[in-house]
Structure 1
Amino acid sequence: MTKILYIAASPRGDESQSSKLANAYLAERKARQPNVEIDVLDLWQADLPEFDGDKAAAKMTFFGVGEMNNEAQSAWDQIVAITQRFTDADEYVFSVPMWNCGVPYKLKQYIDIITQPGLLFGFDPEAGYSGLLENKVARVFYTAGVYAPGAPAKYGADFHSTYLSWWLEFIGVSETTDVRFQPSLLTGDPLGDQKAAIDRSVELVS
């Protein structure tokens, strides 16, 4: 049975444009594959811990810096538990609005918590970094109120899809498909453009 982890990065609930796209995809997926398991992680309702000094110290032990003492081990166990939910999934679905040309800070916090050596990536002094995930796919739904691909710089820049695409490749996700609704505000036909984006989201289900 396929397990999907839906990571909702918008705090706007039913008003979120990116969530509307993701939910349309998930509804179609469920309709065609009733046995699919969908685990919803609302980053704005989740109890995400701070990546504090103990967690940073635990991470650095994997690079030969310091020792895994009791405080660091306790912090690391918390990270492992959170990351397990992520690695247990076969597919990732993200709803990602653009915030100040980047991703919402809750999504960045989550990424910083789970992106750890030995969990999502490996490192070799000669070979460099390598992603540890295998046979995972991602579906990412991007929205922006004003920015659009190819628009003049005065309307913003794209650091949210470029960052998230890099991160997914970095951890070893083998296939990523994007759907964009950009812009969602600076358009002459917002409802028509929204419907077209939703239709593209549904069409991802094969």
Structure 2
Amino acid sequence: MTKLLFVQASPRGTDSKSIEIADVYLKTLQAGDPRLEIDRLDLWDTNLPAFDGDKAAAKLNVILGNDQNAIQQTAWDQIVGIANRFISADRYLFAVPMWNGGIPYRLKQYIDIIHQPGLLFGLKPETGYFGLLENKQATLVLTSGAFAPTSPSPAFGVDHHSTYLRAWLNQAGISAIDEVRFQPTLLTSDAAADLERAKQDAVRLAQGHVRNQTVNAGAI
């Protein structure tokens, strides 16, 4: 059975366009694969601990191969518990609005907690970072008020949004990444039509994923 982790980075709930589009993608995916297991992670309704000095020390100890003291071990155990939920998924769906050219701080906090040595990545002094997650796929649903890839930058914003997410996922070992964009959501003459196009893009993407999964399953 395939497990999908749906990470919701917007605090706006049913008013969020990124979540609305992601739900369309998810419903299409579920229609094609009723056995799909869904784990919804609302980052604004989840207790995320501060990545404080104890957790930073624990991370460094792992990198250097040092022993943890009791406080650091407790901090590391908390990190591992949160990260394991992410690691256990086969697929990821992210609903992420653009905030000030980047991602919402709640998502950044989550990434800072789970992106750890020995869990999502390794580091070799000779060659650099390498990812530890294998055979996983991520879909990004991206929205922004003024920024669009076709708009002049930086006048209408700079994309530290999709670029950051892709770089992070790549470092964790995830290279199969696709996306659906509704950009811009504000500076458009017909927001409703643009939203509908984004939803149709989500449907087509999900249908393609179902077809690919069917073909791969038949090849086993």
Provide the TM-score with structure 1 as the length reference: 0.98
Q: How many residues align?
A: 206
Cα shift at 1:65: 7.5
Is the 1:134–1:174 contact (alpha carbons within 8 Å) kept by the matching residues of 2? no
After superposition, where does 1:6-45 map in structure 2 within 5 Å?
Answer: 6-45=6-45
Q: Which amino acid aligns with 1:157?
A: V
Q: For residue 69 of structure 1, what is the aligned residue in structure 2? A: 69
The 1:75–1:155 alpha-carbon spacing in structure 2 relative to 1, beyond 3 Å, is same
Q: For residue 199 of structure 2, what is the aligned residue in structure 1? A: 198
Is the 1:121–1:131 contact (alpha carbons within 8 Å) kept by the matching residues of 2? yes
Instruction: Please give the alpha-carbon distance, in whole angstroms, between the structure 2 residues aligned to 1:147 and 1:179.
Output: 14
After superposition, where does 1:39-58 map in structure 2 within 5 Å?
Answer: 39-58=39-58
Q: For residue 186 of structure 1, what is the aligned residue in structure 2? A: 187
Look up the SS of the partner of 1:156 in the other structure.
Answer: coil
Q: Which has the higher helix share?
A: 2
Instruction: Please give the alpha-carbon distance, in whole angstroms, between the structure 2 residues aligned to 1:102 and 1:203.
Output: 27
Q: For residue 216 of structure 2, what is the aligned residue in structure 1? A: none
Q: For residue 79 of structure 1, what is the aligned residue in structure 2? A: 79
Which segment drifts farther, 125-134 or 147-156?
147-156
Cα shift at 1:20: 0.9
Look up the SS of the partner of 2:77 in the other structure.
Answer: helix
Instruction: Please give the alpha-carbon distance, in whole angstroms, between the structure 1 residues aligned to 2:175 and 2:160.
Output: 21
Look up the SS of the partner of 1:71 in the other structure.
Answer: helix
Cα shift at 1:129: 0.6
Is the 1:48–1:110 contact (alpha carbons within 8 Å) kept by the matching residues of 2? yes
Instruction: Please give the alpha-carbon distance, in whole angstroms, between the structure 2 residues aligned to 1:100 and 1:127.
Output: 33
Q: Which amino acid aligns with 1:161?
A: S
Structure 1 stretches of at least 4 aligned residues deviating more than 6 Å after TM superposition: none
Runs (5+) with no aligned partner, structure 2: 209-220
Cα shift at 1:85: 0.3
The 1:182–1:96 alpha-carbon spacing in structure 2 relative to 1, beyond 3 Å, is same
Cα shift at 1:174: 2.8
Is the 1:147–1:182 contact (alpha carbons within 8 Å) kept by the matching residues of 2? yes
In the alignment, structure 1 residue 171 sits paired with structure 2 residue 168: no
Runs (5+) with no aligned partner, structure 1: none
In the alignment, structure 1 residue 159 sits paired with structure 2 residue 163: no
Look up the SS of the partner of 1:21 in the other structure.
Answer: helix
Instruction: Please give the alpha-carbon distance, in whole angstroms, between the structure 1 residues aligned to 2:57 and 2:66.
Output: 7
Deviations along 1:138-184, one digit per CA (max 9) or x if unpaired, are: 00000001111131221111101110010011100130001110001
Instruction: Please give the alpha-carbon distance, in whole angstroms, between the structure 2 residues aligned to 1:37 and 1:195.
Output: 27
Instruction: Please give the alpha-carbon distance, in whole angstroms, between the structure 2 residues aligned to 1:23 and 1:150.
Output: 26
Aligned-pair Cα RMSD in Å: 1.0
Q: Which amino acid aligns with 1:172?
A: G
Cα shift at 1:66: 5.6
After superposition, where does 1:106-125 map in structure 2 within 5 Å?
Answer: 106-125=106-125
Q: Which amino acid aligns with 1:174?
A: S
Look up the SS of the partner of 1:41 in the other structure.
Answer: strand
Deviations along 1:94-122, one digit per CA (max 9) or x if unpaired, are: 00100000000000000000000000000
Cα shift at 1:63: 2.7
Which segment drifts farther, 64-73 or 101-110?
64-73
Instruction: Please give the alpha-carbon distance, in whole angstroms, between the structure 2 residues aligned to 1:180 and 1:149.
Output: 10
